[in-house]
A = this chain, B = another copy of it.
């Protein structure tokens, strides 16, 4: 599955009913952003994030570790946790594994993440080992806190009507439902440390496992090597989640390596910059060649944008800096990613292997 990123409880420009129509089954929310605005306490009071943003399907929240690493100017890491400054107003905050889990319990996503340190790149081996060990200790603390407090999710007492209890015979009753906590593998670009991190994280025991600390500036072949070596150390019968990846080609490739879940800002962010993914390759809609092009953006795409609008119109909206450009471009790119993943799942369900998927993909490119 591919998870669109809805940083502050919104996939930028796209109403939730359109996300449903696109077939989005799970959204990613950013704990760091939600903690700063509108604040965790408010979300909890209003019954949790599903109810707050009117999203009845699944949500995953990250732990805030990556945003503290990438967005905060001043951060200070200690054994206890991380002091950081808000990118909004410069105010000072402290996240520890326990508070990051507490925040995620109050937000109430279906899947939440252990608090980790995202190791910078490049880094010396000793630094990477130290950071990995810290992440492992934080993983233990995250799990311990979660086990003690997992009953405190806001929706156990405050379940929105559209999220009706499943049939009690076929699953847990609402009152027994809790979130799923995933661990995060770190270890920089060091294959041995990655394997060790995977095995020791697995030893702590989580509902699923993420591979973090990639796409931080390293070459693409290194990312792939790390993923390949790490994923085989993670249990195949539990979700394996590669964080912050990638292009359409990459998400197919990583699926074939055994990855079950991915998220990335690429489809949504690229859309806002006029970069559109199509079955004929990537299109920069601002280019003059599209000014009088009456073809749909992607003739093979059935999304509401390709069914109705021409490249000429989309190019005009972008050139005129119209809000609708961001809206329509984002809808199309998400549709393309979700179609890609649907094709991957369909192919898997037919028992066809990695090679087939890659071939389909290559054929679709110019």
Contacts and interface: CB of A to CB of B under 8 A. Distances in A.
Interface stretch (A105-113, A128-136, A167-175, A324-332): A324-332
Interface stretch (A37-45, A143-151, A339-347): A37-45
Interface in A281-335: 291-292, 294, 304, 308-310, 312-313, 316-317, 319-320, 322-324, 326-328
Contact of A324 (B12, B292, B319): B12
Given A15-B324, A15-B328, A316-B37, A54 B10 contact: no
A23 B323 CA distance: 21
A16 interface: yes
A312 B52 contact: yes
Interface residues of A, number: 37
A257 interface: no
B291 A42 contact: yes
Contact of A319 (B38, B53, B312, B323): B38
A13 interface: yes
Nearest to A14: B324
A285 B8 CA distance: 17
A54 B291 contact: no
A9 interface: yes
A45 B9 CA distance: 42
Contact of A8 (B292, B308, B320): B320
A344 to B, nearest CB: 28
Contacts of A191: none
Contacts of A313: 9, 52-54
A76 B152 CA distance: 70
Nearest to A88: B320
Nearest to A16: B308
A313 B10 CA distance: 10
A46 interface: yes
Contacts of A52: 310, 312-313, 316
A326 B54 CA distance: 17
Tallying the copies of this chain within the complex gives 2
Nearest to A162: B308
A294 B10 CA distance: 17
Contacts of A218: none
A193 B75 CA distance: 70
Q: Looking at A16, A310, A324, which has the most chain B CB atoms within 10 Å of its CB? A: A324
A17 interface: yes
Interface string A1-22: 0000000111111111100000
A160 to B, nearest CB: 10
A294 B12 CA distance: 22
A291 B12 CA distance: 20
A42 B292 CA distance: 7
Q: Closest 5 CB pairs between A and B?
A: A13-B323, A38-B316, A10-B324, A10-B322, A8-B320
Interface of A: 8-17, 37-38, 42, 45-46, 52-54, 291-292, 294, 304, 308-310, 312-313, 316-317, 319-320, 322-324, 326-328
22 contacts: A9-B316, A10-B320, A10-B322, A10-B323, A12-B322, A13-B323, A13-B324, A13-B327, A15-B327, A15-B328, A17-B304, A37-B319, A38-B291, A38-B312, A42-B292, A42-B312, A46-B312, A52-B310, A52-B313, A54-B309, A54-B313, A323-B323
